[in-house]
Each structure stands twice: as structure tokens, then as C-alpha cells.
Amino acid sequence: MAGGGAGLAKRLGTLLSGLLECGVFCGVIFGWASLVFVLKDLNYFRDLCQPTNTSHNQTSQTGCGEQDEQFSLVFTIGSFMNNFMTFPMGFIFDRFGTATARLIAITLYTGGTLLVAFSTPELAVLLFPAMSMLSVGGILLILTNMQVGNLFGKYRSIIITLYNGAFDSSSATFLIVKVLYGHGLSLKAMFLFMAACSAWHLLRTLFLMPCTRIPYPLPPGYNYGLRCPGHSKSYRTYEEKRRPEVAGPEETPLEGSAPRVSTYTNAFAFTQLCGVLCAPWNGLILDRHKRGKTPRPEGALGALADLRASVLSLVVTVVQCVLFSICAAVPVLPVQFATFMLQVLSRSFLYGGNAAFLAIAFPPQHFGKLYGLAMALSALVALLQYPCIALVRGPLHGDPFYVNLGLIAVVLVAFVSPVVVARECRRRAKELGAAGTPLAAPPGAETPTEMPH
């Protein structure tokens, strides 16, 4: 870096602190299955259950369909808000910059944790706004963090995908809440502590993040933080993946057969920790052409090389999603361990690859809006999980075979994406060839004006 710019130590501090932020706080909503164990033990939504002929103790532990549906609805709305609200929040990020977006995110996150902390079984309805606020706040935090990849040049895609992997791993936060609750900590105390962690987010906003945006390519002498104001410019979700006929945490007693079902819930939660390890693999695929001895070409040739590298990433991502969908449809419970692993791998590639692809293929000043639009569309699709569950429980009499078959067919359509991108690469290559630009320019050769990233 040129004199006066952000040094390596500061940039590494931004990177590592951002990983911690994304890996602990941003995607906690996807650990909902673990939190439900705690909420059911505290009798949230228990008043919706009808009394049965069994003993009171057994009734209080097993739950009921109405209670399960409320927990499912909380998650459906929260995960919908997680994706859908990314669109307007992307506009805010692009228009007003990082500081404003992060302050909104911190406010939402703090409000959500406080609502959970002060909720009670009688005020279980507070879970609806609380999970929505945690979702929107978390997705806005990761949206501001993904630009950190711009600080590291040729490792840009790796860092973007790494952050998305950390986002996936943060679902394990509610697993920690479940474990600590089992050791005697109260739900209120744990969520008050999470609310107090907002001070960490605020300090990062002031000292380790830009006021507006981090530009790409990074100009010489670039700095950010309080010292230089004005100088700096992602499932299918758990409920979608869980087969309705397989007993989940919301439908199983906490006593008796609970150890077996809790094993699968814990296995699902623990596999989410691997998201941060899986996501960089996609970044390595996207950035593979930058690691050769020949320097990466600049301008239009560099943009074309980046776009070509994304084709393999898209193919690998779709293959993983197809394999995951097939495994999820197999009605054998032990097979779901493989489903958990494929879910983490495919989601890491999907969300991280989506963010990296948008950064590669489109102008950076529109990244927030485009990322938000993609997430909003996925939110609309995610709304289908509730009627799908109702369809399986109702007309299909608990048999999800035809629903799973339909979902596999839909996923197969995604192979259109790498085909379209490959055709676009060929079109751009022909245009550059017609303009007299060599497709393998020697180092230091002049290139035409840069095409949009």
C-alpha cells in the first residue's frame, strides 16, 4: 500500500473481526431448531395445545401440532424476512453507505435480542418480530462485510465466499444457547449478553469499516475508519430440508426417545460449523486463474477471465444442490447425515458463489441492490415451504415423495445458469477479437477500457 493507506495489520484486523461477526451473529436464525428445544421446555405456545388423556408431565413434554405450527411459522416468517428485506436494505447500502447500513443493522439486532430476552410463554408472540429483526439485522451485517474482499485483490472471491461460510456457521450460536441452557443458564441472561455484544458491532463500524464503500480495484493510499471520513466510498432453510415425516425437535418429547432425536438435531447444528470451512473452496475455484505465474490481465480481458472462472463454480454448485435434494428425498433416517453435510456444502457454494458472481459480473455500485434482489426472490420461493408442508400433511397423507420429486426437477433447471454464462463469455470473446484485442495479452500490454464487473 502507498503511504497513508490502510496497512496490512489494519486490513487483517478488519478481515478477522468480520469473520467473527459473521460467524457468531449474522445467520443465527438458521439455528432455530436448537432454540426450539429451549422454547418448548419453557412452554412457549403451550396454551395452544389441547389436553390429552396422558399424564400432565408427558403432555408438557411432547408438544402438539398447533404448537409446532407456531414454531414453524416463526421460522418461516423470519427466514422470509432474512431474504426479502435484503432488497430494500441493498438500496440503503448503495445509497447511504456502510456506516448507515450498519447502524440500522445494529439497531435491529439489538432490538431482536432484547425482545427474546424479555419474552415469556405468555408473550410468546414476541418471537415473531424478534426473529425477523435478528434476520434482517444479520443479513445487513454480512452485506456490509462482503466488500472487505476488495481490500485483498486477487483473494477477493475467496474472502467473499469465506464470509458467506461464516454466515452459515453462525447458526450454531443457538446450539450453544441450547447447551448452556441445559447447564443452567437462563434464556434471558444469554440473550441479554447477545444484546450487549452490539457494542462490538458498533466499534467495528467506527474503526474498522468505511463510511461509504470499499472501492474495487483498490486505489493507492486508500484508508478507512474514523480517521478518514468521506474518503472511502445469503437457504433452502432448515424447514425446507427437513422431511415432514421425520420427527424433528419440535415434534419429539424431551424425555424418553429424546436422546435419539436430539442426536440428529445436534448433528445438524454441528455440521453448520463446517460452513466456514467449505465456502472458501468455491472462492478457490473462482480465483484459480489468478494464481498462475502469468499476471491476471486487466480491463476487459480481466473481466472476461473472471466471468469464465465462474462457469465451473456454477456447475459444481448445481451438482451439489441436485445431490442434496436427492439425499433429502431418501426415506432412510441415517442417510440424513449425508444430507446434512451436502446441505452445508451446497448452501456455502450457493450463497457465497452468488455474492461473488454478482461482484464479478456487475458494476460494484449496484452490488447491494442486485444482491438484495436475488435474496428477495429466494425469499418469495421460501414462502412455498409452508404450503408444501401443509400439502404433505394433508392431501398427501404424510408422504413427501411427490413434493421431493418436484423439488428435484426444479433444481435441475438451474443447469441453465452456467450454460447462459458460458454463452455470454463466448460472445464477449468474439467482441474483443473483432475489436483486435488479443485474448492472451502479454504482461504489461495495454487493454481497452474496462468492461463492467
Q: Nine-digit cell at 137? A: 439485522
Q: Within a 10 A sphere around the Cβ of 77, how many other Cβ atoms?
A: 18
- Mean pLDDT of the 247-273 span: 55
Q: How confident is the model at residue 158 (pLDDT cuts 50, 70, 90)?
A: confident
Is the pLDDT at 333 greater than 90, yes or no?
A: no
pLDDT of residue 344: 81
pTM listed for this prediction: 0.62
Q: Which residue has the higher pLDDT, 291 or 216?
A: 216
Q: Half-sphere exposure of residue 325, counting CA atoms within 13 Å on the CB side?
A: 21
The answer to whether the peptide bond before residue 217 is cis (omega within 30 degrees of 0) is yes
Is the pLDDT at 241 greater than 60, yes or no?
A: no
Region of poorest pLDDT, from 1-10, 67-76, 384-393, 441-450: 441-450
Residue 229 main-chain phi, psi, to 5 deg: -60, 135
DSSP string across 224-248: -STTSTTS------HHHHS-TTS--
Is the pLDDT at 118 greater than 80, yes or no?
A: yes
d(CA 101, CA 123): 30
pLDDT of residue 273: 67
d(CA 5, CA 9): 11
pLDDT of residue 330: 87
pLDDT of residue 260: 45
Q: How confident is the model at residue 293 (pLDDT cuts 50, 70, 90)?
A: low
How would you classify residue 7: left for phi > 0, otherwise alpha for psi between -120 and 50, otherwise beta?
Answer: beta
d(CA 191, CA 128): 16
pLDDT of residue 48: 85
Q: Nine-digit cell at 379? A: 425469499
Q: How confident is the model at residue 21 (pLDDT cuts 50, 70, 90)?
A: very high
Instruction: Report the share of the chain in percent with pLDDT over 90.
Output: 30
Q: Return mean pLDDT, the chain.
A: 80
Q: How confident is the model at residue 124 (pLDDT cuts 50, 70, 90)?
A: very high
CA angle at residue 80 from 156 to 349, to 5 degrees? 30
pLDDT of residue 164: 82
Sign of the four-CA dihedral 2, 7, 8, 10: negative
CA angle at residue 158 from 157 to 159, to 5 degrees? 90
- Mean pLDDT of the 397-409 span: 87
d(CA 278, CA 275): 5
Residue 98 main-chain phi, psi, to 5 deg: -65, -45
Q: Which residue has the higher pLDDT, 259 or 267?
A: 267
Q: Nine-digit cell at 90? A: 441493498
Q: How confident is the model at residue 432 (pLDDT cuts 50, 70, 90)?
A: confident
pLDDT of residue 61: 46
Q: Which residue has the higher pLDDT, 448 or 421?
A: 421
pLDDT of residue 60: 45
- Mean pLDDT of the 157-183 span: 88
pLDDT of residue 227: 55
pLDDT of residue 305: 84
Q: Within a 10 A sphere around the Cβ of 422, how many other Cβ atoms?
A: 17
- Mean pLDDT of the 155-172 span: 84
Q: Which of 60, 30, 28 is nearest to 45 (CA)?
A: 60
pLDDT of residue 166: 85
Q: Nine-digit cell at 151? A: 481490500
Is the pLDDT at 253 greater than 50, yes or no?
A: no
Residue 60 main-chain phi, psi, to 5 deg: -70, -15
Q: Which of 75, 68, 24 is nearest to 385 (CA)?
A: 75
pLDDT of residue 257: 37
Q: Within a 10 A sphere around the Cβ of 207, how many other Cβ atoms?
A: 15
Q: Are 266 and 31 in contact (CB under 8 A)?
A: no
- Mean pLDDT of the 318-333 span: 89
Determine the residue type at 446: E
Query: What do you get for the CA distance between the two ends of the chain, in Å?
Result: 23
Dihedral angle of Cα 349, 208, 290, 233, to the nearest 10 degrees: 100
Residue 246 main-chain phi, psi, to 5 deg: -85, 125
pLDDT of residue 4: 56
The model's pLDDT over 42-100, given as tens digits with 9 standing for 90+, comes to 999 998 887 655 444 444 445 687 888 899 889 888 888 887 887 888 888 888 899 99
- Mean pLDDT of the 162-168 span: 84
Is the pLDDT at 451 greater than 70, yes or no?
A: no
Region of poorest pLDDT, from 91-105, 175-189, 430-444: 430-444
d(CA 62, CA 53): 13
Q: Which residue has the higher pLDDT, 178 or 431?
A: 178
pLDDT of residue 419: 93
Q: How confident is the model at residue 309 (pLDDT cuts 50, 70, 90)?
A: confident
